[in-house]
Structure 1
Amino acid sequence: METIKRRVDQILAFCCILLCGLLTVVVTWQVAARYLLNSPGAQSEELAKIMFVWLTLFSAALLFGEKGHMNIGLLCDSLPVRWNISLQVLTSVLILIFCLAILVVGGWDAVVRTMRQTNAAIPYLSTGQIYLALPICGVFSSFYCIYNIVTDLRRLAGVMSGDRPQQEG
C-alpha cells in the first residue's frame, strides 16, 4: 500500500507542478496582453480561474495525503496514545464519508448535470469539465483517508499489543 501511496503522491505532485507552471504562463500572458497590447483576453482570465481551482483542489488532496491538513490537536495530544490514535481513525472515517458523499457523489452529480452547459468565455469547455475536479479530488482524498485509517489501525494494534508506538511519518 505504501508503494501505491508514493505513486499517487507522484501523480498529484506532477499535476500540481504542471498546473502551477501553466497558471504562471497564462497569468503572465494576461498581464502582458493587458498592459502591452491593451487587449485583455477574457479567455485567459477564465482559464486562469479554472486552473487555480484545479490546482487548489489537487494541492489539498496532496496535502491531505501527507496529513498536513488543518487540525486542532490540543485534545488529541492530551489523550493517551491509544485514544489519540482511535480519535484519528474516527476523524478519518468521518472525513472519508464527507469525501465520498460530497466530493465524489455530489461532484459527479454536478458534472453530469452541467456537462452540456458551455462556458461563456471559453465555449469549447463545458461547465461539467470544469467541475470534474471535484470527483477527481474526492477519489484522491478518499484513497488517502483509507490509507490513513489502515496505517492508524496498524499503529493502534501495535500499541494494544504492547509494542512501542511509531511516530507519524
Structure 2
Amino acid sequence: MHTIKLWVDRLLATICITLCGLLTVVVTWQVVNRYVFSGAGAMSEELAKIMFVWLVLLGAALLFGERGHMNIGLFVEAFSSPRWKASFQIATDVLILLFVVGILLIGGLDAVDRTMRQTNAAMPFLRTGQIYIALPLCGAFSAFYCLYNIWNDILAFLRPVNAQSAEGEAK
C-alpha cells in the first residue's frame, strides 16, 4: 500500500507542478496582453481561475496525504498512552473520511452531474461540469489518503499489543 501511495503522491505532485507552471504562463500572458496590447483577456482570466481552483483542490489532497492538513493535535497529545493516541487518531480519520466521501466525492459527483449541460460563458467549448470534476477528484484522492492513514493508525494501535504479547511469550 505504501508503494501505491508513493505513486499517487508523484502523480498529484506532477499535476500540481504542471498546473502551477501553466498558471504562471497564463497570468503572465494576461498581464502582457492587458498592458502591452491593451486587450482584455476574458478567456485567459477564466482559465487562470479554473487552474487556480484545480491547483488548490489537488494541492489540498496532496497535503492531506502528507498529514500536513490543519488539525488540532492538542487532544491527541493529551493522552499519554500510545494506544489511546492511536485510537483517537483512528476515530478522527474515520470522521474525516465520512466528510470527504460525503461532501467532496458524492457532493462533487452530484455537482458535476447537475452542471454538465451548462457551458462556460468565457469558454463556450468548456462545460461547467468539466470544471467541477476537481471536486470528486480531490475527494477520491483524499479518501485514498484517509484509508491509508487509517490502515497505518490501526497498525500503530496493534503494535504495542503485539510487542507486549511477544514479551510475555518470551518469559
TM over 0.5: yes
Q: In the alignment, which residue of structure 1 is the partner of 2:167?
A: none
> Matches of 1:41 and 1:32 in 2, distance apart?
10
One-letter amino acid matched to 2:27: V
Partner of 1:150: 151
Aligned partner of 1:33 in structure 2 is 33
SS of structure 1 residue aligned to 2:163: coil
Who is 1:128 aligned against?
A: 129
Tell me which residue corresponds to 2:169: none
Which residue of the partner structure matches residue 114 of structure 1? 115
Show the counterpart of 1:166. none
- Give matches, 1:3-152, under 5 Å: 3-79=3-79, 80-152=81-153
CA RMSD of aligned residues (A): 0.9
Q: Deviations over 1:101-138 (max 9, x none)?
A: 11111100110110010000111111000000000110
Q: In structure 2, what is the Cα distance between the partners aligned to 1:70 and 1:55?
A: 18
In 2: Cα distance, 1:68 partner to 1:85 partner: 17
Deviations along 1:19-65, whole A, 9 cap, x unmatched?
Answer: 00000000000000010011021000010000000000000000000
Any idea what SS the aligned residue of 1:162 has? helix
Instruction: Tell me the CA shift for residue 160 of structure 1.
Output: 2.6
Equivalent-residue separation in structure 2 for 1:73 and 1:152 (angstroms): 15
Show structure 2 runs of 5+ residues with no match: 165-171
Partner amino acid for 1:107? G
Identity score, percent: 62
TM-score normalized by the length of structure 2: 0.93
Distance of 2:17 and 2:121 partners within structure 1:
27
- Larger helix share, 1 or 2: 2
TM-score normalized with structure 1 length: 0.94
Name the CA distance, whole Å, in 2 between partners of 1:160 and 1:55. 42
> Tell me, which stretches of 5 or more residues in structure 1 are unaligned?
164-169
CA apart distance, 1:159? 2.0
CA distance in 2, matches of 1:49, 1:159: 49
Q: CA–CA distance in 1 between the matches of 2:50 and 2:113?
A: 18
User: Alpha-carbon deviations, 1:66-122, whole Å to 9, x = none?
Assistant: 000011111211202211111111111111111111111110011011001000011
